Every structure is written in C-alpha cells, then in structure tokens.
Amino acid sequence: EPEVTQTPSHQVTQMGQEVILRCVPISNHLYFYWYRQILGQKVEFLVSFYNNEISEKSEIFDDQFSVERPDGSNFTLKIRSTKLEDSAMYFCASRGQGAMGEKLFFGSGTQLSVL
Amino acid sequence: TQLLEQSPQFLSIQEGENLTVYCNSSSVFSSLQWYRQEPGEGPVLLVTVVTGGEVKKLKRLTFQFGDARKDSSLHITAAQPGDTGLYLCAGAGQAGTALIFGKGTTLSVSS
C-alpha cells in the first residue's frame, strides 16, 4: 500500500529556533494536511492544502506556522520561532480527489521536542 | 466549534469479551471515520460511515452511524490481544473539510 513519508522522525530544537518538518504525500494525491498530537491529547487539525494554497486552517495555525509545496513531491510545515508548547507529534496526511469520506493516509509522524 | 466526545477514555478487558466504544457530538457530520493508532505511528483508517443509520462490519468490528449523523459506536466481539490500541473517531463537517478527532479510547486486551 502507498505510504506518506515524514522526515525527520524526531526533531529536537531550542525555543525560538525555526524548524521545518517534511512530508512526501502519496504521489497522486491532491489534498494535504498537517495535524498534531500533544502527548496524551487528541489529534488536532492544523491546516489543509489544495491546489497550491491553504484551503482551511485552525486557530492553532497562527502566523508562526506556514506550509509550502516547494516541488511536486514535498509538503513542508515551518514553525518560525518555536515555543515550548509546540512540542508534539506532527502528522502529515494526504488523500486523493474523491467522494465524501475519501480515505486519509497518515504518515508516521515527526516527534518535535522544544527545549 | 464541533466537538467529538469519546467514551470510555480507557478500557481494559480480558480476551474473549465484547466491548462497545462511543463517539458523540451535538453537531451533525457529513461522514464519520474510525481510526486505530499504535504508539509512535499515525492513525490508520478502519472504516468510514456516511449515511445515517449505516452499519458496517469489519470482521469482529461493527461500526454504526447514528440516524441523526451525530454519533457513532464501535463494537468489538470476542476481543483479542491484537485489538489493543487507541481507537479514534473523526468527523467531517462538510464534504472535503478537515477531520475533527475525538480524544480516543485506549483499549487494552489481556490474554
């Protein structure tokens, strides 16, 4: 089965530093998402991306966050100045263009630790 | 803000027992999905329900979508240790909008 690939699997950074989390969605998919999961808490939606622009974002996705699809394969999440509370598992997901309830494929996540 | 409440939060049972976990909301969802998540991994889709009252079966797992499309349940028959994991429900408010997740039910099945 095709996979969503995320790198790195773990990222440790100092507070205030910029981080870029990378994702390679499934090749023929058109919708891309970032979610995060703080330890012990629920999976939270951050942003969705379609047709080279943000289609939806949550309150969490403030000015410190940005997403980019720099080429035909990568989808990145940048956090400009990390805060302690940004520590979480960040999941990338993608899906094809289909009917309601189209399957969402998740990557294995990047565990971000902000010190 | 749409919220999904899952219950129970934790469930510990013996192999062979039956169990039901619930996913409830005051909001209507266009579709609802159930995922299973293993430690250190992303959620993996189990099933999608779309029509009110819909029932889907996946081996020993039975999923039901409420008539009003506000709630759902997952029933596992004769649970096995391999069923251990975090079960998440997630709903989409409208077609194509982002999924909103519940906090999940952590299931532990011991032999």
pLDDT tens-digit readout, B34-51: 999 988 889 999 999 989
Interchain CB contact of A107 with B (< 8 Å)? yes
- Looking at the partner chain, which of A48, A103, A108 has a beta carbon nearest the beta carbon of B98? A48
More confident residue, B92 or A18: A18
> In 3-state terms, what secondary structure has residue A86?
helix
Query: What is chain A's mean pLDDT, rounded?
Result: 92
Shortest distance, CA A11 to any CA of chain B (angstroms):
14
Across the range B47-59, mean pLDDT stands at 94
Q: Is the pLDDT of residue A100 over 50?
A: no
Q: Do A103 and B41 touch (CB under 8 A)?
A: no
Q: Is the pLDDT of residue A101 over 60?
A: no
Tell me how many degrees the CA angle B4-B10-B14 measures, rounded to the nearest 5: 135
Interchain CB contact of A103 with B (< 8 Å)? yes
Contact list in A for residue B23 (CB cut-off 8 A) is none
pLDDT digits (tens, 9 = 90+) for A22-64: 999 998 888 999 999 998 888 999 999 998 999 999 999 999 9
Tell me, what's the pLDDT at B92?
83
Q: Is the pLDDT of residue B30 over 90?
A: no
More confident residue, A41 or A17: A17
A11 forms beta bridges with A112
| Residue B9 CB contacts under 8 Å (≥ 6 apart), including other chains | B103, B104, B105, B106
Interchain CB contact of A43 with B (< 8 Å)? yes
Q: Do A93 and B104 touch (CB under 8 A)?
A: no
Tell me, what's the pLDDT at A36?
96
In the 8-state DSSP scheme, what is residue A104? Answer: P
Assess contact for B55 and B62: CB atoms under 8 A.
yes
Assess contact for A107 and A4: CB atoms under 8 A.
yes
